Amino acid sequence: MSTTSHNKPQPSSNALLLLITRLHFYIGLFIGPFIFIAALTGTLYVISPQIENAIYKEVLTTQSVGDNQPLARQIAAAKSHLTSDLSLFAVRPAPEQGDTTRIMFLDSSAQHSGTRAVFVDPITLEVKGNLPVYGTSGILPLRTTIDFMHRQLLLGEVGRYYSELAASWLWIAALGGLFLWYQGGKKNTAEFAAKTEHLRKRRRHYQVGLCLFVGLIFVSITGLTWSKWAGDNISTLRNNIGWVTPSVNQDLSANTHDTMMSDEHADHPNHSSHSSHSSHSSHSSHHDMATKKQPVEKFENIDLLFDGVLNAAREAGIDANTLEIRPSFTKDKAWRVSEVDRSWPTQVDSVAVDASTMTVTSRADFATFPLVAKLIRWGIDAHMGVLFGVANQIILAIFGVSLCLMIIWGYKMWWIRRPQAGSTSKPLLQAWGKLSFSQKILTLLITIALSISMPVMGVSLLVFLLIDLYRWKRH
């Protein structure tokens, strides 16, 4: 009698294994295609820089030799090339000999980015091209198209749900797969892998999954920071606990050198200005009110100020070859000069320059960033394949292709072992019903917390449960 009791399986233990098995299956069956597309388009993106450089070589490079012309003359050359009156947005001086300067304008007709760059030979002032550019990395039309395929399938804001769906479930699928392997997959694959086609594919699926495990968690978490709903929740959490990235304060009316906070994902131009800091005295408050009533003085010809602002930034330690100058058209806001080299070692220092006096009023140096802000910066750049250059690209390309293969093998496993007509596997809800009371409460609390944090995952989980309930009732 004691032997019978000893051999009797524990219902809650078996139910937990079955619950995770069914959930892992649902993720693979329904979310797998979205993860596959995200992995494929992401792989295309990380291998595209060299292709883009080759396609747009005539625009990006020049054979001229000599001294660079002043930025004011380069801007004038770019403006003379325009067929419509566009607002000057930023200037990226030629990083090295043989590169062109980017004079960037706001242009609503530039798809996705809203920014257009006129590429000027800094020596001869010849206009080499006119193309839409996007993001801090300044990607051109080819990579922009691939980027938006990866992000939203070129469907606009509604398309962002696809990538958020994939990122929300990927880390859960990875953890579930690791649990299933630990609970018995490793034993089964070692003992029976050579016997059937199903088990051979199962072994490949497990082995690739184990090799990619850390990467799956990494790309899932970093990908969620770009998402609409979960990304907003992550930003709110970071702000609440102080995990924010410092940025320069461009407000000159407040007479402060404090830094502000920036968003690492802010690829779109931000035309809104930060509000000034509140005053701590009634005298200052009246002064601020009087200042607001006065008309803001504008610069007469900002083109002539770029060289002076650049020199002031260089003297302040902005030494990266690749940088961007964003002007202010009014004298109450400082200009911003930022390093935009995201490779290793990272050069993303920035300073605010008062163009009236050519003095630095605020700065944000990467060396002084909090550790969390640095890790976030590095994580995002590694996700994009730019942190370690070609090595980063190769690793992500291998990762993306392997993930696609793992999904294909998962579907083949399901097809070989798919239920025959009239049969059905045990439903997800039935497995949950066999959990112990404490396990039910724990899984329910975790599910609620994750659904609130990642609403797209929560809605899709509800769809899973409705499908599961329908299958249960039907059979």
SS3 for 269-323 is CCCCCCCCCCCCCHHHHHHHHHHHHCCCCECCCHHHHHHHHHHHHHHCCCCCCCE
What residue has token string 């609130």?
452
Cα 95 to Cα 40, 59, 98, 300, 322, distances in angstroms: 32, 14, 9, 28, 5
Residues in the chain: 475
Query: Which stretch of DSSP H or E encloses residue 167?
Result: helix 160-180
Q: Are the CB atoms for 351 and 398 separated by under 8 Å?
A: no
CA distance 105 to 114: 9
The domain segmentation of the chain, as residue ranges, is: 57-139
Residue from 76, 93, 116 nearest 325 by CA: 93
Query: Using a CB cutoff of 8 Å and minimum separation of 24, what contacts does 258-261 make?
Result: 258/362, 259/362, 259/363, 259/364
Q: Would you give the DSSP letter of residue 139?
A: B
pLDDT in tens, the chain (475 residues): 434 444 444 556 788 998 999 999 999 999 999 999 999 999 999 999 999 999 999 999 999 999 999 999 999 999 999 999 999 999 999 999 999 999 999 999 988 889 999 999 999 999 999 999 999 989 999 999 999 999 999 999 999 999 999 999 999 999 999 999 988 755 554 445 445 666 777 788 888 999 999 999 999 999 999 999 999 999 999 999 988 899 999 999 855 555 565 656 644 333 333 333 333 333 333 334 334 456 678 888 999 999 999 999 999 999 999 999 999 999 999 999 999 999 999 999 999 999 999 999 999 999 999 999 999 999 999 999 999 999 999 999 999 999 999 999 999 888 887 766 555 566 888 889 899 999 999 999 999 999 999 999 999 999 999 988 887 777 6
* Distance, C-alpha 57 to centroid of its chain: 27
Q: Are 34 and 166 in contact (CB under 8 A)?
A: yes
Q: What distance, in Å, lies between the first and last C-alpha atoms of the chain? A: 35
* Contact by Cβ (8 Å): 302, 329: yes
**Contact at 8 Å (CB) between 140 and 133?**
yes
H/E stretch holding 376 reads helix 371-384
DSSP one-letter code for 333: B
Residue 211 burial (CB count, 10 A):
14
**Secondary structure letter of residue 158 according to DSSP:** G
402 vs 15: CA distance, rounded Å: 31
Distance CA 9, CA 32 (A): 32
Give dist(CA 119, CA 129) in Å, integer: 5
Nearest to 250, CA basis, from 349, 342, 364: 364
